[in-house]
Structure 1
Amino acid sequence: MGNKEQTRQKILLAVGELLAKDGFKKFGVNTLARQAGVDKVLIYRYFGGLPGLLRSFGESADFWPTLDEIANGNLQEFRNKPLGEAVGELLVNFARALRKRPLTREIMAWEMLEPNELTTILAETREEWAQRLFATFSTRLTETDLDLTAITALLGAAINYLVIRSRNTQIFNLLEINSAAGWQRLEESLLQLCRNCFAEPAVS
């Protein structure tokens, strides 16, 4: 059992390395088997083929943050916070999680350039992740007339873009997006936006 799990992890690691380096056009079972140093039969045995492998990779914590990670290990605590505070902190933690995953940033950049059936699998996996996140706040959505889904889509897209752009761009809109100081400003602004956007109505 131990050897099987080690082999699975070797294959998943090879997926990230190949996609970050060459994108999706050269991605295939034979290339992947060579990169991982395993017989390609094992890719089918353990994952059922490339679609199953991509789903497993997309769900792995090495590629994409878990809900526990962006909730600092306590999703229940976030459910009890004021809505603006909870959404803001989750988005800030999401941005931090992406920034510390350089392979993920490279793969996300390739996805924009080479959309195909493989990129669709990764995108669907992330959408399922987002649905699970929203499900944890389903009882809170009645607290505001604002469209939480649309607003967080806009903010999430901005985070994704800036994270990807920071790979090879130093300045964006006069802000240093590849420095800790620049991201601190972005995080503080993101928190303030969410607090203001989802502010609870004043009690008269």
Structure 2
Amino acid sequence: MVTKRKTHKERDSGQTERALLDAVGDLLGTSGFSSLKTNNIARRAGKDKNLIRYHFGSLEDLLAAYIREKDYWPPFFERFRLNEKPESQELRQLFTGLMQENFRFFAANGKMQQIIRWQISEGNALLRGISDAREREGAKLLAMTDPLFQDSGINFRALLALLLGGSYYTVLHAVTNKSTVSGIDANLQTDREAILQTISQVIGWAWQAAGEKDRTK
């Protein structure tokens, strides 16, 4: 039987964990990743620093929990799963949707923007581990496209790297400096729609070119 004392303790525990996670986000947004120290986080949360170890095990585990909570890629990989032998057009639709969703979510998610800035600005074993895990999941999807582009002269992996990096760069420029990239302003709805359409076009062109290569063999 669950007692009132146990329920109260669980609620307090959840509130403490939430306060510590929110403190990480606050510091990351206002002072940057260099401020993510035990004392700073505890002070921002208004909690004893020993509670970080009690609830999360260590500072690294707290930071990992924060990143996992804000990282939208794991849910993406769950949503965009296919059967073992998908048709070519299924793969095309999957990668188009995946890249478009990434742009939409990244443009609207300030916390993830902070995490990506952190990941590309500091050599860190924790960040590298999370990035590597994301790459391993992505590699499972990319492996399905390799036979389609084999001997086509098209490097689909490089194309996706450019789409992904370009999405991050364009959004971060717009958010940080209120500036444009090649005249495109990711703060504007019309320009965001243009980027989404272009993502679909570029992937479609790659698919079409690979298909034409197959027909000339």
- Normalising by the residue count of structure 1, what TM-score does the alignment of the two structures yield? 0.82
Give ranges in structure 1 of 5+ residues lacking alignment.
none
Distance 1:33 1:144 in 2: 51
Moved more, 28-37 or 120-129: 120-129
Letter of the 2:167 counterpart: I
Distance 1:41 1:92 in 2: 42
Larger fraction in helix: 2
Residue 5 of structure 2 corresponds to none
Closer, same or farther: CA 7–135 of 1 in aligned 2, 3 Å: farther
Residue 76 of structure 1 corresponds to 82
CA RMSD of superposed structures (Å): 2.6
Letter of the 2:133 counterpart: E
Letter of the 1:47 counterpart: F
CA contact (8 A) 2:27 2:36 kept: yes
1:128 Cα deviation after fit? 1.0
Residue 5 of structure 1 corresponds to 14
Letter of the 1:201 counterpart: G
Closer, same or farther: CA 172–150 of 1 in aligned 2, 3 Å: closer
Closer, same or farther: CA 103–74 of 1 in aligned 2, 3 Å: closer
> SS of the residue aligned with 1:76?
coil
Closer, same or farther: CA 104–74 of 1 in aligned 2, 3 Å: closer
Could you tell me which of 142, 149, 168 is aligned with 1:160?
A: 168
Could you tell me which of 9, 20, 29 is aligned with 1:20?
A: 29
Closer, same or farther: CA 74–6 of 1 in aligned 2, 3 Å: farther
CA contact (8 A) 2:142 2:157 kept: no
Letter of the 1:56 counterpart: A
Cα deviation 1:12-42 (Å, max 9, x = unaligned): 1211111111112222001101112222112
Letter of the 2:143 counterpart: S
Distance 1:74 1:136 in 2: 9
Residue 72 of structure 2 corresponds to 65
Distance 2:56 2:114 in 1: 23
Give ranges in structure 2 of 5+ residues lacking alignment.
1-9
Closer, same or farther: CA 137–173 of 1 in aligned 2, 3 Å: closer
Residue 127 of structure 1 corresponds to 132
- Normalising by the residue count of structure 2, what TM-score does the alignment of the two structures yield? 0.78
Structure 1 residue 44 and structure 2 residue 53: aligned?
yes
Alignment of 1:82-161 (within 5 A): 82-109=90-117, 111-112=119-120, 114-117=121-124, 120-145=125-150, 146-161=154-169
CA contact (8 A) 1:16 1:103 kept: yes
Residue 4 of structure 2 corresponds to none
Deviation >4 Å, runs of 4+: none
Percent identity of equivalent pairs: 20
Residue 197 of structure 1 corresponds to 206
Comparing both chains, which one has the higher relative contact order based on Cα–Cα distances under 8 Å and sequence gaps of 6 or more? 1
